[in-house]
Every structure is written in C-alpha cells, then in structure tokens.
Structure 1
Amino acid sequence: MRIATLRNTRAAGLCGALLFGALVPGLAQADANIEARNKQAVSQAFERWAAGGTTFFSDILTPDVVWTIKGSGPSAGVYRGVDAFVAKAVQPFAARLSTPVRPVSKQVWANGDHVIIQWDGAGMARDGQPYRNSYAWIFRMRDGKAYEVSAYLDLPAYDDVLQRIPDPA
C-alpha cells in the first residue's frame, strides 16, 4: 500500500510539473501581451496629445487615479482622483499658458503593469516666455488605464510659471 501511495505521489508531482511547465510560457505570453497593450495605450494617448488633442488625462487615467508629483516644491504632493488632479494641478498651470504644453519627444518602456514614459514638453507662457520641461512619469496600469502615477519633473520651472504669471480667473 505504501509503495502505491509513493508512486501516486510521484506521478501527481510529475503531472503537476508538466502542467506548470506547459502553463509558464502561456503566462509569460500573457504578460508580454499586457505590457504591449499598456505601452500602446500610453503611446497612442501621447501621440493624440502631441497632435493637438485635449483629452489626454481622461483618455489614460482612471477616475480614481492617485497622482503623486514627487519633489519638495510647492506643487509636489498627492492628488486623489482625476478631477482633483486636473482642477488643482493641470488647470491652474494651463491657465497661465498662451499655448499648451505639448510633448515634443518621448521614450516609452513597459514592464508588467508599469509603463514608464520619459518626455520633453514645450509651451508658451502668457508673458511670452517659453516653457520647457523634462518629465518622467511612471504609470501603474489596469485595463489599459493608469490608476497610480508617480511624476518627476523640474518643479522649479513649473512653479516659476505658477508664481510669475497671474491667474487670469
């Protein structure tokens, strides 16, 4: 009886190993597909933005996104929800520009559910001075949209526009 149990245990272990081995390539392929779809979603949203689109944040962010601007300047902080982020970080800045910031170059990488985009942006402030900045955004994706973002940028350049140009409202 003991020998039969040992054989059954070995057979079950061998079957499990074979099944796991058969599934691992499928899992790796699924991860690669998710990475490719996430990278494509972010890349396409950036391309629409660069071409003049105005719906980037609603295109790529979940309504409950947690957006963190890293750093120690007055604009650094955590914004909970796309509406709060747009109202408190995007609109006050955009109101001080005569031409909106547009991506002028980008590099995109994907790893698992993360997409990293390094991009340079340019716009024009209402006082006629150009605005240029470099950004690195790390998106954590779910179903093709970012639900967590860590944003790195030259905060002094961003904050200078907010402080130098009066709010037109």
Structure 2
Amino acid sequence: MAQSKHHQTIRGSFLALAIMSGIAVAPQTASSADTPVEANNRQFITQAFEQWAAGGTSFFTDVLSPDIVWTIEGSGPSAGVFRGRDAVIQMVRPFASRLSEPNRPVSTRVWADGDHVIVNWEGAGRARDGQPYVNRYVWIFRMENGQAVEVTAFLDLAPFDEVLRRVPAPTSQP
C-alpha cells in the first residue's frame, strides 16, 4: 500500500531524530516495500560513499547538483547555507587543504525514504600537524533526477573548526 506524503515525512523525521539522538535503529535495507526511487537513491548514495572511502576524490561533483543548497546546521563559523556546488566546494577546500590524509568515510549507515536519503557516517583523516581528525556526521540528501539538490549536514563543528584554527593554511607556491 502506498504511504501518504505526511506519513513519509513523519517517518523520515523520526529516523533523523533517532540518528541524531543516538537511538539504535537498524539501517533500512532494500525490500519489496521500497519504491524504485528509494532503491535507486539509496544505491546511488551508497556507491558514492563506497567510492569515496576507497580513495575516490569526485564525491561532491558526482553527487551534488550544480544548484545544490547545502546547509550545515549548528552554530560556529562553519555553520551556514551554501548555494551552488562551487560554493560547497569552496567551503570544503580550506578544511581539506589542512589535512595530510583526507577525511574519508570509515563507517556508514544509509536509509532512504522517498526522495530523501539519510547517511549516518563516521569520517577519519589526519591534519597536516599530525593530529587525527575524527568526526561523526548525519547528512540528509533530497534527491532529484539522480543528483542531490538539497543537503542538511549535522556534525560536531568543534573538531572541524579546530582544524581550521589550529593548522595553518598552506602557502601558495609561485
């Protein structure tokens, strides 16, 4: 039986709250109840995270629509709304430049609900000063035509901003 839009919104909101609250919920797996949209969206995002974890460097260009609206929730200098794939990449670049080993997913859990995909993931990398960087994330993607058009990102901004404060930006070479 088809679920109402209201029921899907409530279910998606519950999953996001459960994830952010640390409540144990099992990842949704593909089943006969999945719609083709859910299955395709989950598979696409899962594969993109697997490629990133394996060393891929094109996650943002592969997944994000050129007109993406990316929101980092929370408070602090890195929180905000970024409009357009180029703006998102420009936001990420100063952080990435301070890492000697890139931040990569080391564990992921993926759920899909209609055109939304929720990914709870842990990332790890190493800052250029030798200190490890580890963080946990929840990214909520709204998909259209095989690309993310909106992302809401939840993460612990303190370690992210600490890397930006602690590690000097690399100097450009002439």
Q: Which range, TM-score by smaller chain?
A: 0.7 to 0.9
Once residues 163 and 97 of structure 1 are traced to their aligned partners in structure 2, the CA distance between those partners, rounded to angstroms, is 13
Does the alignment pair 1:165 with 2:167? yes
Secondary structure class of the residue paired with 1:150: strand
Q: Which amino acid aligns with 2:103?
A: V
Unpaired runs of at least 5, structure 2:
4-31
Mapped to 1, the partners of 2:42 and 2:145 lie a distance apart of 12
Among candidates 82, 92, 101, match of residue 90 of structure 1: 92
| 2:116 match | 114
Larger Rg belongs to:
1
Residue of structure 2 equivalent to 1:78: 81
User: Of 32, 54, 57, which residue of structure 1 is paired with 2:57?
Assistant: 54
Residue number in structure 2 paired with 1:9 = none
Matches within 5 A, 1:6-155: 32-87=35-90, 89-155=91-157
| Structure 1: gaps spanning 5 or more residues | 1-20
Q: Would you tell me which structure has more helix in proportion to its own residues?
A: 1
Offset at residue 54 of structure 1 (A): 0.1
SS class of match (2:38)? helix
> Counterpart in 2 of 1:6?
none
Report the Cα offset of residue 73 of structure 1: 1.0
Give 3-state SS (helix, strand or coil) of 2:119's partner. Answer: strand
User: C-alpha offsets along residues 43-73 of structure 1, whole Å, 9 cap, x if unaligned?
Assistant: 0000000000000001111000000000011
1:126-165 deviation digits (Å, cap 9, x = unpaired) = 0000000000000000011100000000000100000001
Number of residue pairs matched by the alignment: 143
Aligned-pair identity in percent equals: 63
TM-score (norm: length of structure 1): 0.81
Structure 1 outlier segments of 4+, above 6 Å: none
TM-score (norm 2): 0.79
CA-atom RMSD in angstroms: 1.8
Whole-Å Cα distance in 2 between the matches of residues 54 and 43 of structure 1?
15
Cα distance in 2, alignment partners of residues 30 and 37 from structure 1: 13
